[in-house]
């Protein structure tokens, strides 16, 4: 090892010191010890395996369920000059074979894999030939049946453990209750495990719950009082734009973010907020990955979340610079009943799952015991309309089947439109000369796709629209017009979803195999929402204490800054003020000693003594020689 962990941190990240626990965790991995890491949001988990991955000879195998996060980290490492590759579940067999060969001979330092990839014999066979220095299991709570995102595919990691019994594992998660931690260590077969857990306590973060029926007025008061950077989380895409526009009308600078924006729009809106050109980012929960803005003053949830884990992670984006910050939930009387109702309507039961799976296979024309490893374009809206299905329940059912490795449900945006020229170059030029409205589009395709005369090519409508300063709708209309003139053969796929069956269609047999996991996950989701209800409605306990207890951490003292603690202080002051008035009234005409006052006023000796001192200091009462108190006016 040529560079120390701190040297690597300085060289590649330009940081000059580690966050709490990071250095100890890194040293544990460098010592080839199995390691478990629980670092709440903002704790810097990725550095804990990336630095030893750089320091050690060989390649670090990173297993992660999040394709977007894998790609983001590979891009980040590549920019630093570190060779990394992501072998996610979207690669076909030939591409996977090629990339695995590259890993064998390409001096890569990091290989990111989805857990489903470990089902492939090709992957397992190639892993045995690689010089793997250690295995990093990210989002390790996914291996636990009690975890919030249970994925049975994580049990495939046991194959790697059997293949490489002496290769150490580091398991990392940002939120796990004690039962889940034990489950992770057992299922990953960690040995002599070094366990590192950071506290969930955030001393500078004030957790607030405000019950209000006029959320917008409360929102404006908060944002005008705290004019620094803010995030407002809302539940749907439409609301992000609506609320952003409303804030601008109220002279508060804002932008918005959701999963339906294209990459260019996301980047533009993100930069506006990151550079503090706008105060507020209004977003769905799609706004989360890679956010490390230190000066966020407030994170506001316009409605409660479905679980404490998500709330803690999103709230934790406030105050990362150590300054006082606020995590606020605005709750109305109808919010929690509405959330419970929505949850019940959105959770598929076993009968729903069987029906949706069968109809899905019929819709895609998949015969019984066929369809394995074939990818299908899928329009979920058309599917739900045909079979009169609830779209949320259907998405949840298909997502569940994805997590059970029955199928792969790819929601990455892909405009796969295929075309081929039906005329030669000479006739195409003649067509362009007489149809000048298509000049820019056809010339762009000719420049970028010269092979379109000989082969059927794939084009991206969004990319073309951006490049020629047009819109996707306009490009589509032009192509349909050109097709009518028999200039091109066009196959327009108006879908942003792909589905790939990972096993042959077997109807009830397939669903019966995963049914127990569905009931378990549904029960867990209901229990999680009950925990959110408890957090919001409990009015006699410190909010931070409630959060810490949820994650299995005890607290002896109240935080002093949450909505409960602030309300308690105000109530105490009001009680003290009231006691002052009662004391003065009691000794207005007759002097009384402290014992007589305590009996008359029914208060504690401590409260009475403290209030008497305040009244004496402010010269509102006096003490006589017989130790009795008398009001001065």
Q: Which CATH number fits domain 205-333: 3.90.550.10, 3.40.50.1440, 1.20.120.1230, 3.40.50.300?
A: 3.40.50.300
pLDDT score recorded for residue 260: 78
Given a cut of 90, is residue 66 above it in pLDDT?
A: no
Q: 86, 74 in Cβ contact below 8 A? A: yes
Given a cut of 70, is residue 90 above it in pLDDT?
A: no
- What's the mean pLDDT in 392-400? 92
Please report, to the nearest 10 degrees, the dihedral formed by the alpha carbons of residues 200, 201, 202, 208 taken in order.
Answer: 100
pLDDT in tens, 576-631: 668 888 888 888 888 899 888 888 887 778 888 888 888 888 888 898 888 899 88
Phi, psi angle pair for 508, to nearest 5°: -60, -35
Given a cut of 80, is residue 441 above it in pLDDT?
A: yes
Burial class for 98, CB neighbours closer than 10 Å (0-12, 13-18, 19+)? exposed
Which one is predicted more confidently, 121 or 188?
A: 188
Q: What is the pTM of this model?
A: 0.75
Given a cut of 90, is residue 58 above it in pLDDT?
A: yes
Please report, to the nearest 10 degrees, the dihedral formed by the alpha carbons of residues 546, 549, 555, 561 taken in order.
Answer: -20
Q: 300, 230 in Cβ contact below 8 A? A: yes
Given a cut of 60, is residue 310 above it in pLDDT?
A: yes
Given a cut of 50, is residue 173 above it in pLDDT?
A: yes
Given a cut of 70, is residue 89 above it in pLDDT?
A: no
pLDDT score recorded for residue 416: 62
Q: For 439-445, which contacts have Cβ atoms below 8 Å and span 24 or more sequence positions?
A: 440/468, 440/470, 441/468, 441/470, 441/475, 441/478, 441/479, 442/482, 444/468, 445/419
- What's the mean pLDDT in 178-204? 93
pLDDT in tens, 558-578: 999 999 999 888 776 666 668
Given a cut of 60, is residue 299 above it in pLDDT?
A: yes
- What's the mean pLDDT in 134-152? 84
Given a cut of 60, is residue 494 above it in pLDDT?
A: no
Q: How confident is the model at residue 555 (pLDDT cuts 50, 70, 90)?
A: confident
pLDDT score recorded for residue 413: 44
DSSP symbols for 81-124: T--EEEE-TT--HHHHHHHHHHHHHS--SEEEE-GGGGG-HHHH
* Separation between Cα atoms, residue 9 and residue 15, nearest integer Å: 6
Q: How confident is the model at residue 414 (pLDDT cuts 50, 70, 90)?
A: very low
Give the Cβ contact number of residue 547 at 10 Å: 25
The bridge status of strand 497-501 relative to strand 407-410 is antiparallel
pLDDT in tens, 348-369: 999 999 999 999 999 999 999 9
Closest CA to 171 of 17, 39, 334: 39
The yes/no answer on whether domain 563-631 falls in CATH 1.10.10.10 is: yes
* Separation between Cα atoms, residue 294 and residue 274, nearest integer Å: 10
CATH of domain 5-197: 3.40.50.300
pLDDT score recorded for residue 369: 92
Given a cut of 90, is residue 220 above it in pLDDT?
A: yes
Q: How confident is the model at residue 13 (pLDDT cuts 50, 70, 90)?
A: very high
Given a cut of 80, is residue 334 above it in pLDDT?
A: yes
SS (H, E, C) 256-286: EECCCCCHHHHHHHHHHHHCCCCCEEEECCC
Given a cut of 60, is residue 232 above it in pLDDT?
A: yes
pLDDT score recorded for residue 83: 93
* Separation between Cα atoms, residue 223 and residue 228, nearest integer Å: 8
First and final C-alpha spacing in the chain: 81
pLDDT score recorded for residue 174: 86
DSSP symbols for 6-34: HHHIIIII--SSPPTTHHHHHHHHHTT--
Which one is predicted more confidently, 179 or 171?
A: 171
Given a cut of 50, is residue 80 above it in pLDDT?
A: yes
Given a cut of 70, is residue 138 above it in pLDDT?
A: yes
Q: Which CATH number fits domain 339-413+497-526: 2.60.120, 1.10.10, 1.10.3470, 3.90.1690?
A: 1.10.10
DSSP symbols for 487-506: SEEEEE---SEEEEESS---
Q: Look up residue 303 and give its DSSP letter.
A: S
- What's the mean pLDDT in 106-112? 91
Give the Cβ contact number of residue 72 at 10 Å: 15
Strand partners, 630: 622
* Separation between Cα atoms, residue 198 and residue 165, nearest integer Å: 28
Give the Cβ contact number of residue 522 at 10 Å: 18
* Consecutive H or E run containing 359: helix 350-363
DSSP symbols for 175-206: ---HHHHHHHHHHTT--S-EEEE-----TTEE
Please report, to the nearest 10 degrees, the dihedral formed by the alpha carbons of residues 72, 74, 75, 79 taken in order.
Answer: 140
- Best-predicted range by mean pLDDT (99-108, 324-333, 495-504): 324-333
**What is the residue whose two structure tokens read 């403290």?**
610
Cα 521-525-528 angle, rounded to 5 deg: 135
Q: How confident is the model at residue 502 (pLDDT cuts 50, 70, 90)?
A: confident
pLDDT in tens, 509-538: 999 999 988 998 899 999 999 999 999 999
Cα 400-308-275 angle, rounded to 5 deg: 95
Which one is predicted more confidently, 302 or 147?
A: 302
**What is the residue whose two structure tokens read 């081929």?**
420
pLDDT score recorded for residue 269: 94
DSSP symbols for 545-598: HHHHHHTT---SS--SSSHHHHHHHHHHHHHHHHHHHHHHHHTSSS-B-HHHHH
């Amino acid at each position: 090892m040529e560079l120390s962990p701190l040297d690597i941190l300085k060289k590649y990240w330009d940081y000059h010191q580690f966050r709490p626990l990071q250095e100890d965790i890194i040293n544990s991995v460098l010592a080839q010890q199995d390691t478990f890491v629980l670092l709440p949001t903002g704790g810097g988990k990725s550095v804990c395996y990336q630095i030893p991955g750089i320091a050690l000879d060989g390649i670090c195998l990173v297993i992660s369920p999040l394709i977007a996060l894998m790609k983001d980290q590979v891009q980040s490492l590549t920019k630093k000059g570190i060779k990394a590759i992501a072998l996610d579940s979207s690669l076909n067999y030939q591409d996977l074979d090629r990339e695995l060969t590259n890993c064998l001979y390409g001096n890569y330092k990091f290989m990111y894999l989805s857990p489903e990839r470990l089902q492939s014999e090709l992957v397992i066979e190639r892993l045995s030939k690689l010089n793997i220095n250690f295995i990093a299991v990210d989002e390790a709570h996914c291996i636990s049946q009690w975890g919030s995102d249970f994925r049975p595919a994580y049990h495939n990691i046991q194959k790697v453990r059997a293949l490489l019994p002496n290769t150490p594992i580091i398991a990392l998660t940002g939120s796990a209750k004690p039962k889940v931690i034990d489950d992770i260590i057992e299922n990953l077969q960690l040995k002599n495990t070094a366990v590192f857990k950071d506290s969930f306590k955030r001393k500078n973060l004030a957790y607030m719950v405000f019950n209000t029926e006029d959320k917008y007025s409360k929102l404006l008061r908060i944002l005008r009082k705290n004019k620094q950077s803010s995030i407002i989380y809302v539940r749907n895409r439409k609301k992000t734009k609506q609320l952003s526009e409303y804030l601008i009308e109220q002279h508060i600078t804002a932008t918005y973010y959701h999963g339906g924006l294209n990459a260019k729009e996301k980047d533009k809106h993100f930069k506006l907020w990151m550079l503090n050109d706008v105060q507020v980012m209004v977003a769905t929960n799609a706004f989360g990955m890679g956010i490390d803005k230190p000066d966020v003053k407030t994170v506001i949830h316009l409605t409660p979340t479905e679980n404490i884990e998500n709330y803690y992670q999103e709230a934790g984006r406030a105050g990362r610079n150590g300054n006082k910050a606020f995590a606020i939930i605005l709750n109305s009387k109808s919010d929690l009943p509405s959330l419970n109702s929505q949850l019940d309507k959105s959770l598929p039961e076993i009968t729903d799952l069987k029906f949706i799976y069968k109809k899905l296979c019929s819709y895609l024309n998949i015969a019984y015991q066929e369809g394995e490893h074939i990818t299908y374009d899928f329009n979920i809206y058309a599917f739900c309309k045909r079979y009169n299905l609830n779209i949320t329940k259907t998405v949840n059912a298909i997502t569940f089947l994805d997590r059970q490795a029955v199928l792969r449900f790819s929601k990455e945006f892909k405009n796969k439109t295929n075309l081929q020229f039906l005329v030669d170059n000479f006739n195409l030029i003649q067509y362009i000369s007489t149809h000048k409205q298509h000049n820019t589009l056809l010339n762009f395709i000719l420049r970028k796709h010269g092979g379109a005369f000989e082969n059927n090519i794939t084009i991206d409508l969004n990319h073309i629209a951006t490049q020629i300063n047009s819109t996707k709708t306009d490009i589509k209309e032009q192509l349909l017009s050109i097709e009518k003139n028999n200039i091109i053969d066009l196959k327009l796929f108006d879908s942003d979803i792909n589905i790939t069956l990972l096993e042959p269609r077997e109807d009830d047999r397939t669903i019966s195999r995963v049914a127990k996991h569905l009931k378990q996950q549904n029960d867990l989701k209901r229990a999680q929402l009950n925990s959110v209800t408890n957090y919001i409605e409990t009015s006699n306990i410190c909010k931070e204490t409630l959060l810490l207890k949820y994650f299995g951490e005890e607290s002896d003292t109240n935080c002093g800054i949450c909505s409960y603690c602030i309300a308690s202080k105000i109530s105490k002051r009001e009680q003290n003020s009231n006691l002052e008035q009662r004391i003065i009234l009691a000794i207005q005409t007759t002097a009384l000693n402290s014992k007589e006052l305590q009996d008359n006023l029914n208060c504690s000796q401590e409260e009475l003594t403290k209030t008497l001192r305040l009244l004496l200091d402010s010269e509102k009462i006096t003490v006589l020689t017989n130790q009795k108190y008398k009001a001065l006016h």
